[in-house]
Chains A and B, each alone.
Chain A
């Protein structure tokens, strides 16, 4: 079908993906290194994982990170979905240009600016820095990513489905929950995942907006990295990658299942 897929094309893809994946693979391999030297292989060992699980400050940071991630991703998903609905369903309202600007700008805004400005807001309104402020900050920047993901799904959504439901007597709210929501649900789920990951990964904004007692995992890793590369950090990074990878795989399986189910339903409907 595609006679133009040349050797050059294949080579650039292979090299590009090698570039993208090799550093991560190397990092994971060296987390199982028995030697304390990070770049010299000294045999297989899981000692860094066990020493990680005995490190209380590390476990505390992980617990803070997970709570911030779950709360902020959940709120951000609700707000982001509303923002996406507002952007796709209402082409004219006062301040729409400003609104779409505020949704898209955080996607590219340098983190140091977002972090600093949020911190100054929290100081100005007299909010003590800590768990709550980090969560608010994460909601704010990740809701914009959710909005973009959900919006792209809403744009390809067939509005006649909603009209059909309304013609058949469904109330607008029922229509939304029984027609619109199931269709855009995969996008909402991936939006949540994305928001959770962004929160899990963020260092700069968390460093600005966090206070004593609310050290997140990236902040912990960063302070360790500054002291030098250790296999223990590799182990922590590998665990973090593992958690995210599991989530991504789970989400894609759920998506696949829904897709298959939907197709079966459609076939059943056509057969009458």
Chain B
């Protein structure tokens, strides 16, 4: 699908141009080749290495694995020595299985909550007077510039039993014993919603802003109640923004490490944390590679949806 979107002829009335136009052939090759090769070497090839190592045996050495293949010629002679042990290990131990399921559920719930909170904000921004919209936009983007780690850390002081939230609620006599939020799933939800909210609001805002509000007025004039006009017109029209926002939140949240580690406590089973522990504490590189391969497989479909949306947005923008 991405192919179709990209190779479709550019629309518009501009006269046909030579590919690349102004830049001569050699320079244009370099413009493509330099970033291309960089990404091939530092982004794509590493995945194959992860895959390769996930098939090798664990060893107590440095690096702590027995290499499977050293070069192309070696590949065929050694193909029989590939071992699926690490994957079998993953399926045998319910820890991993449960960590995957829980990561997907937590990320899914958190994405839904982010949408629930982000939508009214984006909607309010899209309806704000045009003069203050750039300021509002700036205010949404600004937290993105502050460190992820710091923003998560800030919540520890707020959520812990003797923290500010409990102090506040108890001083208002709303509760008489502190709420236990830190080190529970609620803290993870709060952390994800908080950290990823700008990623949800921005695509929602850009699709809501483009919307033609006379459609709503027309619906109202024809006797459609506002709420039903919202579900029949506004929401369907904002769907590209909803999908993009949800993917931008869901995909990284599944593999999230910092939030479950700092807010979720030691008991939390999320796959990003499991991978980290497997790698840093158990020093089991082949198993952590296998964990990464399966995590990636889990995310292939969401990533392709995201990619498709990006390609489409790119085509529309041209």
How far is B35's CA from A196's CA once the two chains are assembled, in angstroms? 19
Report chain B residues within 8 Å CB of A136.
42
- Given A92, A163, A225, which contacts B7 in the complex, CB threshold below 8 Å? A92
Q: Which residues of B contact A97 (CB under 8 A)?
A: 2-3, 6
Q: Is A13 touching B35 in the complex (CB atoms < 8 A)? A: no
A68 at interface by CB-CB < 8 Å? no
Taken together as a complex, chains A and B put the C-alpha atoms of A176 and B20 apart, in Å, by 12
Task: Please provide the chain A residues from 76 to 106 with a CB less than 8 Å away from any CB of chain B in the complex.
Answer: 79-80, 82-83, 85-93, 95-106
- Inter-subunit contact A218/B247 (CB<8 Å): no
Question: Contact: A143 with B150, CB < 8 Å?
Answer: no
Contact size range, B: 35 or more
**Shortest beta-carbon distance, B22 to chain A, in Å?**
4
Question: What residues of chain B lie closer than 8 Å to A24, measured between beta carbons?
Answer: 143, 146, 150-151, 154
With A116-B50, A117-B50, A241-B150 as contacts: A105 and B307 at CB distance below 8 Å: yes
A201-240 vs B: 1/0 string, CB under 8 Å? 1011001100000000010011001000100010001001
Q: A82-B35, A123-B63, A218-B147 are in contact. Are A108 and B303 (CB under 8 A)?
A: yes
User: In the bound complex, do residue B289 and residue A120 qualify as a contact, i.e. CB atoms below 8 Å apart?
Assistant: yes
9-residue interface stretch from A43-51, A52-60, A152-160, A258-266: A152-160
Instruction: Report, nearest first, the 9 A-B pairs whose CB atoms are least far apart.
Output: A110-B255, A117-B46, A12-B120, A9-B124, A83-B35, A16-B121, A201-B147, A23-B154, A102-B39
30 pairs, CB–CB < 8 Å, chain A vs chain B: A5-B129, A6-B127, A8-B120, A12-B120, A13-B136, A16-B120, A23-B155, A24-B146, A26-B157, A39-B160, A80-B35, A86-B36, A89-B19, A90-B31, A91-B6, A102-B43, A105-B43, A105-B303, A112-B276, A113-B295, A120-B50, A120-B289, A121-B49, A159-B17, A162-B22, A175-B22, A201-B146, A201-B147, A218-B147, A237-B150
B contact set with A: CB distance below 8 Å: 2-3, 6-7, 10, 14, 17, 19-24, 27-28, 30-32, 34-36, 38-40, 42-47, 49-50, 53, 63, 117-118, 120-121, 123-125, 127-130, 136, 138-140, 142-143, 145-151, 153-158, 160, 162-164, 167, 194, 197-198, 201, 213, 216, 247-248, 251-252, 254-258, 262, 272, 275-276, 279-280, 285, 288-289, 292, 295-296, 299, 302-303, 306-307, 310-311, 314, 317-318
